[in-house]
Chain A
Amino acid sequence: MDQLNIRRRALLQGAGGLGLAGAFVGRAAAQGKEPLKLGITEPLTGSEAGYGADFVTSMRMATKDVNDAGGINGRPLELVVIDTQASPQLGINSANRLATIDKIPMFITAWSAVVKAQAPVANREKVLELSVGANAPDIAKLGDYVYTLFPLAEVDITALAKYTYDKLGKRRAAVAYINNETGIDAAKLYKAVFEAAGGQIVLFEAYDPKATEFSGMLLKMRAANPDMVHVHGLLIDTPLIIAQMRQLGMTQRVSSYSAGYNPKLLAQLGPAAEGFIVTSLAPGVDDNKNLPGFLERWNNEVKRPPNGLPYLQYNYDSVLTAAKLYKYVLDKNQEPTGDALRDALLAIREFDGPLTGKTIVDGHHVKKPVYLLTVENGKFVPMARIDS
């Protein structure tokens, strides 16, 4: 047994050494050539920085992996990261800078309001804008150079609203949503799907993005007597709404979307979060064999749980997708322009990401299964998988 262990250890060490040497050679070769640049516009400061900074960390990990494996046809991939504060105005500035000053033909971005604001710049400058994490349904209609690698709200919100009616047996839902690009269209979609299924929306109320006091709205909600509450907001307001609901004696089950999948929310709400339902568009550890390794690496490097794990999975894979687009274009001896990269995206169509599985780019839409999670004993646990 000991001998077997020693042999296994020697084998692992040998394989590790070879891998390390290969990676070193590949990295050295990649570092000698002109880098291929990939623009990244994410909120690194501001109220959404908790997510944005983690997105960028996961993208840096993916970039390191690409370069350690030899880069793209021997050329290293380099990220050019610009802070948007999740603000449309800063988003426009960053897209302009990437397209006109840095001359980068492709950038990854997020937050629905930012994605929409940047779209005219991408279309005008003919650079490929890849949305990863934003989910407003009309992102699919932003023009010839704006594509998403992340399923839009039509995928997870449709699945959630149907599941709420069909499987949870809820018939009277109340919808509270943040009055901005994140909330408006997604809330309308939830309402349309739930009503089409036969349910009734007893309250449909928007709240100010800067609001911290929701008692008035919640009392209206309490009077409407829903049996389910859907909150479509951000990390700063969603826990406040749930907390104030519970303070007012409202015990209804609450659902949200993937932004609610955050450990901080559980800490803030404690037992009040029990039964809370969120969507996830990426597989969990039970459904993806690469995810435990990624989480271990994350914990070793960042030393805390990630914010919005499913988004991180998409962001990691999005860098690999971008690398694949660059490789496709270079293999055809083309200049990596926005047009060439867009054509590559539509030609390849199917991408098999290590952390999100197979993604099919169907024009301006993406098809993926939806995972529902709920809070049980203070933890998010899998609830259902819904294939689109």
Chain B
Amino acid sequence: MTDPIVLLQILWTGAVTASSYVLLTVAFSLTQKVTGLWNFAQAGTMGVAFYAMYFLLNDMGQPLFIALPAAAILAGASGIATEVWGLDVLRARSSGNLTFFIFTLILAELIIYILTLLFGTEPQTLFPSILSPVHIIGGIAIGDWDLWAVGISVSALVALQLFLRVSNDGQFLIAVADNARLAELYGISARRAYCVTAAIAGVLITLAMYLFGARSGITPNSPMELILTAVIGTLLGGMGRVFMGGLASLILALIQSYSVLVIGSRWQNLLIYGFLFIAIVVFPRGIHLPRRRVRLPVAQPG
């Protein structure tokens, strides 16, 4: 099992598996950074995104190029609706953190319950077939779908990075994340920033559910398990460090994949809970790598 081909194969399949987790974590982490909230309602958004795609593809017979954007719009809209008619109301009432936490959790459960009524609880995949053509490159099996999944994830992350760095709205998000009140003094609408964040999260979540649902069976309850990965990634990556959260999810997925070399497959999912425990107890603000000290030039007396 120490065959380099095996190790590389695990690296590749682990990275492909992680692609959807990374997007979910980045969506969760970005929302946490800008709004300061642990928004568990995103589990509901995941369900909305998946079942919207499923309905359009399988029940309405629509092609993917319609189903995917439509689901993203619906997911984004549900996130904005939650923001406007839920979280904003709680902010206006100066509600405590616990109220926000309970509200988002209950909202997620409510959405999941409605989806259960509408779509039943049988596991569903987006497409009838879960297979794609495979190529053996240097002894490593690489599927067409794998390349597609990694490509989508990387493109989405690059687009998000560009948005945050280049666009005005992106800059406003960072300003609101740093200090919402100060940003408002400069004429930046925090409310608009929260809605833009919800829309971006909706798009990222839809892409993640597309990648996940094309390969695995999903039930309305699945998002509650998926969001756990996003929470752990956000915790380990460090709150407010969006892309580090994504990186943490990737590393977590790889550790899970490599773990089968030393432990039985049945223990793989236990690792997730182990990491969650360690993250909360030992790294409540994430793992921070030691920063290199920069020596500033000392002014010489004239």
Within B1-38, which residues are at the interface with A (CB < 8 Å)?
1, 3, 6, 9-10, 13-14, 17
A290 within 8 A of B: no
Residues of A close to B258: CB separation below 8 A: 216
| Chain B residue nearest in CB terms to A204 | B264
Whether A211 pairs with B265 at a CB distance below 8 angstroms is: yes
Q: How far is the CB of B261 from chain A (nearest CB, A)?
A: 7
Query: Cα distance A303–B151 when bound, in Å?
Result: 41
Q: A223 and B6: CB pair below 8 A?
A: yes
**A24 interface residue, CB < 8 Å from B?**
no
CB pair B141–A272 under 8 Å, yes or no, is: no
Indicate with 1 or 0, residue by residue over A218-255, a CB within 8 angstroms of chain B CB atoms. Answer: 01101100000000000110011001001111000000
**B62-70, B119-127, B157-165, B177-185: which lies at the interface:** B119-127
Most chain A CB within 10 A, of B14, B131, B141, B268, is at: B131
The answer to whether B143 has its CB under 8 Å from any CB of chain A is: yes
Which B167-184 residues sit within 8 Å CB-CB of chain A? none
Pairwise interchain contact B225-A248, C-beta atoms closer than 8 A: no
B141 to chain A, nearest CB (A): 5
**Contact assessment for A216 and B130 in the assembled complex, using a CB-CB cutoff below 8 Å:** no
Please determine whether A240 and B122 come into contact, CB atoms closer than 8 angstroms. Answer: no
Contacts of A50 in B (CB 8 A): 122
CB neighbours of A47 from chain B (8 A): 121-123, 217, 219
- Inter-chain contact B129/A216, CB cutoff 8 Å: no
Decide: A213 and B6 in contact? CB cutoff 8 A. Answer: no
Asked if B99 is an interface residue, CB under 8 A from chain A, the answer is: no
- How far, in angstroms, from A50 to B119 measured CA to CA in the complex? 12
Give A220 Cβ to nearest chain B Cβ, in Å: 6
Please, which residues of chain A bring their CB within 8 A of the CB of B121? 45-47, 49, 85
CB <8 Å contact, A207 and B122: no
| Residue A210 lies at the interface, judged by CB distance under 8 Å to chain B | yes
**Contacting chain B: which of A90-98, A263-271, A308-316, A353-361?**
A263-271
Contact residues, A30-67 vs B (CB, 8 A): 45-47, 49-50
Does A154 touch B at the CB level, under 8 Å? no
Indicate whether A267 sits within 8 Å of B128 (C-beta atoms), given known contacts A47-B121, A49-B122.
Answer: yes
Specify which of A210, A215, A240, A272 is in contact with B10 (CB 8 Å cutoff).
A215
With a cutoff of 8 Å between Cβ atoms, the chain B residues found around residue A219 in the complex are 1, 6, 9-10, 260
Check if B266 is an interface residue, CB within 8 A of chain A.
Answer: yes
Q: Which of B217, B256, B266 has the most chain A CB within a 10 Å cutoff? A: B266
With CB as the reference atom, state the residue of chain B lying closest to A239. B130
Is A179 among interface residues, defined by CB-CB distance under 8 A? yes
- Are A208 and B266 in touch, CB under 8 angstroms? yes
- B257 on interface, CB distance cutoff 8 Å: yes
Distance from B186 Cβ to chain A, minimum over Cβ atoms (Å): 46
B100-133 CB contacts (< 8 Å) to partner A = 116, 120-123, 125, 128-132
CB-CB under 8 A from A248, the residues of chain B are: 9, 13, 141
Q: Do the beta carbons of B9 and A240 come within 8 Å of each other?
A: no
Contact code string A155-196 (vs B, CB < 8 Å = 1, else 0)? 000000000000000000000100100000000000000000
- Per the bound structure, the CA–CA distance linking A371 and B17 in Å amounts to 38
Please give me the residue from chain A that is nearest to B216 by CB atom.
Answer: A212
Q: Are B264 and A216 in contact (CB under 8 A)?
A: no
Could you tell me the distance in whole angstroms from the C-beta of B1 to the nearest C-beta in chain A?
Answer: 6
Assess whether A205 is interfacial by the CB under 8 Å rule. yes
Does B131 lie within 8 Å of A272, measured CB to CB? yes
* Cβ contact of A270, chosen from B1, B125, B129, B134, cutoff 8 A: B129
Q: Give A82 to B261 CA distance when docked, in angstroms.
A: 43
Instruction: Give A220 to B261 CA distance when docked, in angstroms.
Output: 8
A236 contact from B141, B143, B217, B265, Cβ within 8 A: B217
Residue B269 at the chain A interface, CB threshold 8 Å: yes
A246 touches B10 (CB 8 A): no
B260 and A220 contacting across the interface, CB-CB below 8 Å: yes
**Cross-chain contact of A210 among B225, B264, B267 (Cβ < 8 A):** B225
B264 touches A205 (CB 8 A): yes
Across the two chains, which residue of chain B brings its CB closest to A206? B266
CA distance A220 to B13 in the complex (A): 14
Residues of B within 8 A of A298 (CB): none
Given contact pairs A45-B116, A249-B141, A268-B128, A207 touches B266 in the complex (Cβ within 8 A): yes
Closest B residue to A184 using CB positions: B266
- Give chain A residues whose Cβ lies under 8 Å from the Cβ of B132: 247
By beta carbon, the residue of chain A nearest B133 is: A247
- The verdict on A351 contacting chain B, using a C-beta distance below 8 Å, is no
Contact indicator A215/B9 (Cβ below 8 Å):
yes
Inter-chain pairs besides A207-B265, A249-B141, 8 sampled, C-beta below 8 Å: A47-B123, A210-B225, A212-B217, A213-B17, A216-B256, A216-B258, A246-B134, A247-B132
22 contacts between A and B (CB under 8 A): A45-B116, A45-B120, A46-B219, A47-B219, A85-B121, A176-B265, A207-B265, A208-B267, A210-B225, A212-B216, A215-B9, A215-B17, A216-B258, A216-B261, A219-B6, A219-B10, A243-B215, A247-B134, A268-B130, A269-B129, A269-B130, A270-B129
